[in-house]
Amino acid sequence: MKYFLILITVFTWCFAGAQQRVVAECTINYILQADSTNKDMDLKEELKSTSKILYIKGNLSRVDLISNTFKQSVFFDKSQSEATILREIGDNKYISKLNKEAWLKLNQKFDDANVIKMDESKTILGFECKKAIIQLKDKTEYTVYYTLSIVPSVKEYEYQFINVPGFVLEYSTSERGNSITYKAVKINLNPVPTHYFDIPASGYRLLNN
């Protein structure tokens, strides 16, 4: 009987692990929305023309944030723990290169973040997503919805979610004193072209970190 119970326990662990698929190739499109109670009409109009795209390929990730006046691309290489940030503001182009130490320093505010799992859930793009609250040391909070069905091969692409046990498909936070929600509206699990992760060799002004 004892050995039977051990086998059942091992099978349960294996079955649970098999249910979560590691996604090593994907493209996810997010839209940005202001809270319905927000009265800042300029912000609401700005968000209508702003989008976020996440690309993951193996140990590489890229996050694009694009608006009419600003574009930022964050490239992260998990194998080297290094990041490159490109910013375009009008005609000005800037590049920042971060080694492992600089990347960790940039994200140190997310260290020891507390993830509080909630009972609420919703379906996003066909995935059942559970709700959680992420509390930072500076009292900043993120409300996230994540699916346990899939998990990204690179979790460091947005460091605030590193301890969330799944793939975040929706999250809300306060920016400029306003609550803004990022919601996935399209997910593509096809291979991502390698050239999406090419870093420009020229045309950008190097910023010191």
139: left (phi over 0), alpha (psi -120 to 50) or beta: left
- Give the pLDDT confidence of 174-189 residue by residue, as tens digits: 766 678 999 999 999 9
How many C-beta atoms lie closer than 10 Å to residue 10's C-beta? 10
* Mean local confidence (pLDDT), 104-128: 95
Answering whether pTM is above 0.75, one says: yes
209 inside domain: no
Phi then psi dihedrals of residue 75, to 5 deg: -100, 135
Count of helices and strands (H, E) across the chain:
3, 14
Closest CA to 54 of 133, 141, 178, 167: 167
pLDDT of residue 43: 59
What is the rounded average pLDDT of the residues 135-163? 94
Say if 11 falls within a structural domain. no
Q: Greater confidence, 166 or 46?
A: 166
- Answer yes or no: is 119 within a domain: yes
**Is 3 within a domain?**
no
How much is the pLDDT for 2? 40
- Listed as own residue / partner, the contacts of 108-112 with beta carbons closer than 8 Å and 24 or more positions apart are 109/136, 109/137, 109/138, 109/140, 110/136, 110/159, 110/160, 110/162, 111/137, 112/137
* Domain extent at residue 126: 18-198
Identify which has the larger pLDDT, 5 or 190.
190
pLDDT digits (tens, 9 = 90+) for 4-61: 333 333 333 344 445 789 999 999 999 998 875 555 556 556 676 799 999 999 999 9
Tokens (6 digits) for 5 = 């119970």
Residue 207 within any structural domain of the chain: no
Q: Mention every residue, 6+ apart, whose C-beta is less than 8 A from residue 130.
A: 117, 118, 120, 121, 145, 146, 147, 148, 166
Find the distance separating the first CA and the last CA of the chain, reported in whole Å: 61
CA atoms within 13 A on the CB side of 36: 0
pLDDT tier at 201, thresholds 50, 70, 90:
confident
Phi, psi (5° rounding) for residue 46?
A: -65, -40
Asked if the structure places residue 149 within a domain, the reply is yes
In a domain, 105, yes or no: yes
Instruction: Return the pLDDT at 76.
Output: 97
Min mean pLDDT across 39-43, 59-63, 78-82, 152-156 is at 39-43
User: Half-sphere exposure of residue 203, counting CA atoms within 13 Å on the CB side?
Assistant: 7
Predicted local confidence at residue 45, as pLDDT: 63
User: How sure is the predictor about 208, in pLDDT bands with cuts at 50, 70 and 90?
Assistant: confident
CATH assignment of the domain containing 136: 2.50.20
Tell me how many domains the chain contains: 1
| Residue count of the chain | 209
Written as one letter, the residue type at 139 is K
Give the pairing of strands 60-66 and 205-206: unpaired
Q: If you average pLDDT over every residue of the chain, what do you get? A: 87
Asked if residue 159 is part of any domain, the answer here is yes
